[in-house]
Amino acid sequence: MKVSGFVLLLLTIIFMIFTKILVSNQVNKISDIEKRIERIKKEIDEIQIDISYSTRPKKLEEINFLEFGLVPIEQKDIIIELENYETE
């Protein structure tokens, strides 16, 4: 009776250790896969941004005109600002 109880206890402990190692290994694999997924998502976002800038410059100009109204800084504007800054 004592021997069978001891063997049962020993088998239970071994099973618990084995299960804990197995779960830990799977958690590590899941973590690695999630990191890869995030890296791939970032690459996809960068590619989509690059494609949108290279294939749709007219659309960007239209968005700028309708929403922001920004104009590019020209060389003569920089020179005028520098001259005003130097005289102050």
Query: Could you state, in chain order, the average pLDDT of each consecutive group of 10 residues for the chain (88 residues)?
Result: 87 94 94 96 86 68 78 65 60
Instruction: Say what the pLDDT of residue 68 is.
Output: 81
What per-residue confidence (pLDDT) applies to 17? 95
- Give me the sign of the Cα torsion angle 49, 50, 51, 56: positive
The pLDDT of residue 75 is 64
Q: Are 21 and 27 in contact (CB under 8 A)?
A: no
- Give the 3-state secondary structure of residue 25: helix
Helix (H) or strand (E) holding 10: helix 2-55
Is 41 in contact with 34 (CB distance < 8 Å)? no
- pLDDT for the residue numbered 45: 87
Determine contact, residues 80/87, Cβ cutoff 8 Å. no
Can you give the pLDDT at residue 81? 61
